[in-house]
Copies of this chain bind each other. A is one copy, B any other.
């Protein structure tokens, strides 16, 4: 694949053009051997090679059980630091990578030196704040945003946007605009299963941007297939609102994975056409929340399918 054929991710974000596709990975468990981690990375890149992705996303997992008193459906196992996984095992990947940073885990000087080292043509970041007020934080989200503006103003920073939070507060669009003032130039949602909530957020954000005379930043919608009720339970534990009818459909489907694939596709289409109608730039992101082979393969197939929904006219 020839990278120069692309309007690259950075340009699509900076121009407010959107229409890009990302694929999100969770780094292997921290206990994984170096050799095994390399095998996982190689296998992942091989799976993704046929896809014309605009970039990867690497999550920075924290134990969120302080946020949610319910029993976690899967045990929490610490994962490798995404920046380390990237530098040690994913060097073959030449396109951009969005590296998540749970900023509370890092000291200010660690964050600063990491930012200093990044090439803004190939690296972007999303800063995530503490998952609850109780969590001990080395660096606050606000301070991390200041450090980025100072140390790496050219590195594109994204913020998290959560439609479910908008349902409760009606204020998430204002939080997005505050993040934008603090330097964010795009947003990434958690996994979307409640399209209505996502449309509510896009709509309020859009009209607030219009009122303020601000250009909307691209919103990246994350989708995930779900191959079992256990995965569904995990999604809900993570704070994803799954409408009753979707839960019922998945529970009763002859093939849960196929059903969730179709639902993710339908949701993405609805959001794509809604964003285009409003003129809000968007990206799509596919996340595999499970490590089961069938679910991973279905995620790759979903990404391939979503690419067809995007307006990918080349500007070579």
Contacts and interface: CB of A to CB of B under 8 A. Distances in A.
A248 B207 contact: yes
A78 interface: no
Nearest to A243: B196
A200 B252 contact: no
A245 B203 contact: yes
B207 A243 contact: no
Interface in A244-299: 244-245, 248-249, 252, 274
A194 interface: yes
Given A204-B248, A248-B207, A252-B207, A243 B194 contact: no
Contact of A200 (B199, B206, B243): B243
A202 interface: yes
Interface residues of A, number: 18
Q: How many copies does the complex hold?
A: 2
13 contacts: A195-B196, A196-B243, A196-B245, A199-B243, A199-B245, A200-B245, A202-B245, A203-B244, A203-B248, A204-B245, A206-B248, A207-B252, A245-B274
Nearest to A173: B244
What is the interface of chain A mostly: helix, strand, loop, or mixed?
helix
Interface string A179-220: 000000000000000111001101110110000000000000
Contacts of A245: 196, 199-200, 202-204, 274
Contacts of A249: 203
A263 B203 CA distance: 15
A2 B194 CA distance: 45
B204 A244 contact: yes
A161 to B, nearest CB: 15
A231 B274 CA distance: 24
Nearest to A210: B252
Contacts of A170: 244
Contacts of A202: 245
Contacts of A243: 196, 199-200
Nearest to A252: B207
A240 B229 CA distance: 32
A75 to B, nearest CB: 30
A196 B249 CA distance: 13
A194 B244 CA distance: 14
